[in-house]
Amino acid sequence: MQLTKRQKEYWQRTIRFTAILLSVWFVVTFVVSYYARELSGIRIFGFPLGFYMGAQGSLIIYVIIIWFYARYMNALDQEYGVSEGDETDSAN
Amino acid sequence: MRRYYALYAGSFFTFVLALGILEQHGMPPRWIGYAFLFLTIILYATIGVLARTSNVSEYYVAGRRIPAIFNGMATGADWMSAASFIGLAGTLYLTGYQGLAYVLGWTGGYVLVALLLAPYLRRFGQYTIPDFLGARYGGHAARLVGVFATVLASFVYVVAQIYGVGVITSRFVGLQFEIGVFVGLAGILVCSFLGGMRAVTWTQVAQYLVLIVAYLAPVTMLSFKVTGVPVPQIMYGQVLQKIELLEDRISSDPAEIDVRRLFLERADELAERISGLPGSLAVEKRILSARIDQMKNSNAQMRDIFALERQRRELPKNADVARDRWDSLMRQATQRGGELTRHAEAFPGIDEVASNTARINFIALVFCLMVGTAALPHVLMRYYTTPSVRAARSSVFWSLLFILALYLTAPAYAVFAKYEIYSHLVGSSIAQLPGWIGAWGKVGLVSIEDINGDGILQLAELSLNPDVIVLATPEIAGLPYVISGLVAAGALAAALSTADGLLLTIASALSHDAYYKVFRPQATTQWRLVVSKTLLLVVAVMAAMVASQKPATILFMVAWAFSLAGAAFFPALVLGIFWKRANKAGAISGMLIGLLVTLYYMVRVQYNAIPWLGIHGIGMEPWLGIQSTSAGVWGVAVGFITIVVVSLLTDPPSTETMNFVESIRTPDFSSH
């Protein structure tokens, strides 16, 4: 199977976007947790920030990452004319 | 479909309300328990029977027609097990910030599922995870290693679920534990036996609704009672601040300090006795005998003499038993005498070093749980059931959203329960404790020991099993018994739904991958389903038999299952998609070495943690102080390195394989 230029480009863009989102995931998960002690001085809704991120903040960012990924990839499919278009789904 | 489930949710509410009214009119609690247990199982069974099928695609992947939102709900129920439902809030209560590793790990893993695996597995579009390994790496070896790891990780997990069912039925309905296990087994089988994935998915949607209502209802009412606002997820920040003040007050209370000192003294005394074995056992016996004689001579109460004689009878039979028992008592005493855990403090420790060890363990556990989440076959399999790649992507979004409803609430549960206990229970008279302490004390989940004998409850004198937090919150908050029944039904739904998904995964791996693909490719489709259903029955009965033995270390084994699954699957799956050069030799050696390193680390560190067995020669110091539950950190890293190194040293994969990788990476461009 010979890859077309458009196909290569599609894959490059997928990879790039995945890498960006994964680095957000990495920072939110590991970097923030690593500095949880230092963040405890700041308070948000009564929580120390380190605790808040572990209990709620990071979780909400995870959902947003996944929502954003689904949205971006669906748009990419449309742009390259390979959208399956077999349903209306409500994640967008 | 939506209409059916709206109708279903409506009738469920009516049912709960009707039982609540009946309770007001004097319906006994036992009957409420029965009603919840049997009516919900009958409901799941009805859905299971209605969705029965003998079509292969329907059986393994529900005909690939499950809409994204319902697949999300089913994945949520599949994912949230008895451990999440019952255990998580209790763990957070006991360990505070450190327990958040579970919350982070079990949700953040879905980012990996969404970005790295789900869409590609759906585009591949077969039936199981070993299917993917077989197609990507060629030959039967990779597939069989996959089958082995699937069965290993899933079986341990399913035993834990059936065990959970036994606990719930025996506590709430008063069935004997062993009978409860088999009632639960029947409930599991009616869903998965006839209809496979199709039936399991639709019952899981129903189970999700029951479990989430059951989880949210009591804590919402408790939040309303304490703060006046029924949104526990937001309000517990304020309550957390109050807890911090209470913690200051409790830890500076002289009686509390005294109690903790007494516990530490007891621990020292036990340590001395252990080091004096076997002589100290004889001394202990002599002291008791002398006291009994003395009491007999002084005309003491017969009851006291009997009590001492029983104590003497129950002394350990030999030095090994004594060492076991005293060691666990010593650990308990040390724990109870230790510093109060501050709920919101990150990485507590007596000094910088201890605090840094807590930090690295926190991060390692988060990593293992995330990678394990993204590698457990019963979760990944679900994304084969959506109609399209696009639906698979949004299905992960819905999965996580539905899962968050529980995970955002669990820390609130812990904080509200802690507030009630710190503010109302601690410092009250032991003679006048609320009824729930006695009720849960009877089943051994709560115990109180007035060690300083002042008749007042100090915090260190109260010992709670983590499971009690969710199960007893309705009573702590003074809610009617019908809410307790609802919580039991929710816990049951959580355990049953996870067990269904796991059993089906094991049966598919064995029947589809091992039997059909490797040993007997000429088998007819009908025969394959017969084999699968038979295996399902056999595995279910085996799991129930193991569970009825009450294996004590079950929760520990569940944490191991995550590490094992992560080390076995994650590197091979991810590199299989993102690195074309990965080949068969690399994948097989990577999976095996990853598994072996994980097992090796678990066993050696675990042995080291039990120094009194005298096997220091085999045990080892944990690397960087990481506990055995996070052994997957090493397994996953070694797995990645092995796959890369071995693949580069051997021939690149065939053009055919390269084309296969291209085909799952991007959509089909040729038809456009």
Render pLDDT for B316-338 as a digit per residue (tens, 0 to 9): 777 777 777 787 788 878 877 77
Query: For residue B608, what pLDDT is reported?
Result: 45
B107, B362, B667: residue with CB nearest A62: B107
Question: What 8-state DSSP symbol labels residue B458?
Answer: -
Which residue of A18, A62, A88 is the best one to mutate when testing the B interface, meaning the one whose CB has the most B CBs within 10 A?
A: A62
Residue among A59, A77, A82 minimizing CB distance to B404: A59
Q: Cβ separation of B103 and A55 shorter than 8 Å?
A: yes
Cβ <8 Å between B114 and A66: yes
3-class secondary structure per residue, B523-564? CCHHHHHHHHHHHHHHHHHHHHHHHHCCCCCHHHHHHHHHHH
- Tell me which of A53-67, B8-22, B117-131, B241-255 is least confident: B8-22
Residue A61, pLDDT score: 93
- pLDDT band at residue B473 under the 50/70/90 scheme: confident
Residue to substitute from A44, A61, A63, interface B, most B β-carbons within 10 A: A63
Dihedral of alpha carbons B660, B664, B665, B671, sign? positive
CB neighbours of residue B554 within 10 Å: 18
* Candidates B97, B116, B667; nearest CB to A54: B97
φ, ψ (nearest 5 deg) of residue B530: -60, -45
Contact check, Cβ <8 Å, A33/B110? no
State CA B456 to chain mean position distance: 35
- Average pLDDT of the residues in B37-47: 79
Comparing CB atoms, the residue among A10, A21, A47 nearest residue B115 is: A21
Q: How many CB atoms lie within 10 A of CB B573?
A: 24
Chain A partners within 8 Å of B344 (Cβ): 40, 47-48, 51
Per-residue confidence band for B260, with pLDDT thresholds at 50, 70 and 90: confident
Q: Quick check: A1 and B407 CB within 8 A?
A: no
Measured distance CA(B352)–CA(B350) in Å, rounded: 7
Q: What angle do CA B578, B582, B586 make, to 5 degrees?
A: 140
Neighbours of B286 (CB within 10 A): 10
Average pLDDT, chain B: 81
Q: Which chain B residue lies closest to A31 (C-alpha atoms)?
A: B363
**Full 3-state SS string of B108-123:** HHHHHHHHHHHHHHHH
CA distance B147 to B410: 34
Which chain B residues touch A50 with a CB distance below 8 Å? Answer: 97, 346
Check whether B226 has a pLDDT greater than 60. yes
The answer on pLDDT for B612 being more than 60 is no
- pLDDT band of residue B111 (cuts 50, 70, 90) is very high
CA dihedral (B376, B380, B381, B384) in degrees, to 10, reads -170
d(CA B367, CA B360): 11
Nearest to A91 among B103, B241, B394 (CB): B394
Confidence band of A90 (pLDDT split at 50, 70, 90): very low
Please state the pTM of the whole predicted model.
Answer: 0.85
Residue B18 has pLDDT above 60, yes or no: yes
CA distance B337 to B650: 58
CB contacts of B394 in chain A (<8 Å) are: 70, 89-92
- pLDDT tier at B297, thresholds 50, 70, 90: confident
| Record: contact B344-A48, CB cut-off 8 A | yes
CB B608 within 8 A of CB B620: yes
Would you give the distance in Å from CA B269 to the centre of its chain?
A: 35
Q: Which of A3, A11, A74 shows the shortest C-beta gap to B390?
A: A74
Residues linked to residue A43 through DSSP beta bridges, in sequence order: A48
Q: Is A44 helix (H, G, I), strand (E, B) or coil?
A: strand
Return the ∠ at Cα B50 (arms to B6 and B74), rounded to 5°: 55
What is the pLDDT confidence band of residue B552, given thresholds at 50, 70 and 90? Answer: low
CA distances from residue A78 to A21, B387, B512, B535 in whole angstroms, order as listed: 20, 18, 36, 44
Tell me how close the Cα of A11 comes to any Cα of chain B, in angstroms. 6
CB contact under 8 A, B366 and A33: yes
Q: Which of A51, A56, A85 is nearest to B346 (CA)?
A: A51
What pLDDT sits at residue A16? 92
pLDDT in tens, B640-671: 999 999 989 888 888 888 888 888 888 877 65
The yes-or-no verdict on residue A78 having pLDDT over 70 is yes
Provide the pLDDT for residue B190: 73
Interatomic CA distance for residues B420 and B472, integer angstroms: 12
Give helix B632-649 / helix B352-373 axis angle, nearest 10°: 60
Give the pLDDT of residue B305. 78
Residue whose token pair is 């129920």: B77
Beta strands in B420-480 (DSSP E): 446-448, 462-464
Residues of A in contact with B243 (CB under 8 A): none
Q: Look at residue B105 and tell me whether its pLDDT is greater than 50.
A: yes
pLDDT tens-digit series, residues A5-59:
888 888 889 899 999 999 999 998 888 888 888 777 787 777 888 888 888 889 9
Lowest mean pLDDT among A75-89, B92-106, B463-477: A75-89
Question: Nearest CA to CA, how far is A56 from chain B (Å)?
Answer: 6
Distances (CA, A) of B417 to B131, B178, B281, B468: 46, 31, 41, 10
Chain A CB contacts of B103 below 8 Å: 54-55, 59
User: Chain A residues with CB inside 8 Å of B405's CB?
Assistant: none
pLDDT for B15 equals 73
More confident residue, A19 or B45: A19
B654/chain A closest Cα distance in angstroms = 13
Of B589, B554, B561, give the one whose Cα is nearest residue B575: B589
What residue ranges do the domains of chain A occupy? Answer: 16-79
The predicted structure's pLDDT at residue B609: 43
Contacts of A13 in chain B (CB under 8 A): none
Q: Between A33 and B526, where is the model more confident?
A: A33
pLDDT digits (tens, 9 = 90+) for B364-390: 889 999 999 898 888 888 888 888 888
Residue of A nearest to B414 (CA): A55
**C-alpha separations of B435 from A42, B155, B244, B392, B439 in Å:** 40, 39, 27, 49, 6
User: Given A45, A55, A62, which is nearest B100 (Cβ)?
Assistant: A55
A91–B241 CB contact, under 8 Å: no
- From the list B474, B406, B490, the residue with the least C-alpha distance to B439 is B474
Q: Residue B97: list chain A partners with CB under 8 A.
A: 36, 50-51, 54
B-chain CB neighbours of A77 within 8 Å are 390, 667
The ipTM assigned to this model is 0.89
pLDDT tens-place string over residues B424-449 = 888 888 888 887 888 777 777 788 88
Q: Tell me, what's the pLDDT at B538?
A: 85
Strand partners, A48: A43
Contact between chains at A82 and B387 (C-beta distance less than 8 A) = no
Distance, in angstroms, between B50 CA and closest chain A CA?
Answer: 26
Average pLDDT over residues B147-160: 86
In total, the C-beta contacts within 8 angstroms joining chain A to chain B are 171
Residue of B233, B666, B668 to mutate, testing the A interface (most A Cβ within 10 Å of its Cβ): B666
